[in-house]
Amino acid sequence: MPSKADPSFQPRESLTQSIPLQEVESPILVQGIALWAKLRGNRKYPPRNDVTPRELKSLLRNTMLLRVVDGGGDYEYRIVGDAYVMAHGVSFQGSRWSDTALFSPGYQAAIKPVYDQVVSSGEPVATRGWIERGSAAGEHVYCEYVFLPLGTEADSVDHILVFAVYVARAMLGLAPLEQAAR
């Protein structure tokens, strides 16, 4: 990962794009999708109670669990893995989406439509691309995400299970943005 990163890309803001679930490249995310599908069985999506630390053991670092508040008016970050903290430069755990503008304004605007899509459709969403790292303007990381609905009723998503991987520009063999711009 990531084979689709464009080394000439000069991000100016968060830029991710939706991709089909079957195009997810990261083995960690593929494992997360397989776990979600196993827990789901014949249901539209699995209930939150089926997602346990034991089930997530090998994925916890790359896991985030959100509780849907007020039907999607807000989201509470219940579990936030180390990979998220390192990529964003802050832990959102215990916070709500509505509080994230304090930590990462670009992230807040970019992520809510994805959360809302998962809640309204009850379908998984996968994305990849560049995100701004926390409030350190100009610092970006390449990421791949899957957002998976959880709920107890066929038409009511009450949590979103997210798996993500992040790669710094240097790990892709890319120059820092200030050098790449020259």
Burial of 103 (0-12, 13-18, 19+ CB in 10 A): middle
Looking at residue 42, which CATH number applies to its domain?
A: 3.30.450.20
Q: ∠ CA 19-22-25 to the nearest 5 degrees? A: 80
The pLDDT of residue 141:
74
pTM above 0.75?
Answer: yes
Number of structural domains found in the chain? 1
Is 101 a domain residue?
Answer: yes
Strands 74-80 and 63-69: antiparallel
pLDDT per residue over 47-71, tens digit each?
Answer: 999 999 898 999 999 999 999 999 9
Q: Is the pLDDT of residue 9 over 70?
A: no
Is 6 a domain residue?
Answer: no
Which structural domain, as residue segments, surrounds residue 115?
15-172
Is 10 a domain residue?
Answer: no
Is 179 a domain residue?
Answer: no
Burial of 169-181, coded b for 16+ CB within 10 Å and e otherwise, reads beeeebeeeeeee
Is 7 a domain residue?
Answer: no
Alpha-carbon distance 103 to 112, whole Å? 15
The pLDDT of residue 149:
97
Is 35 a domain residue?
Answer: yes
Is 63 a domain residue?
Answer: yes
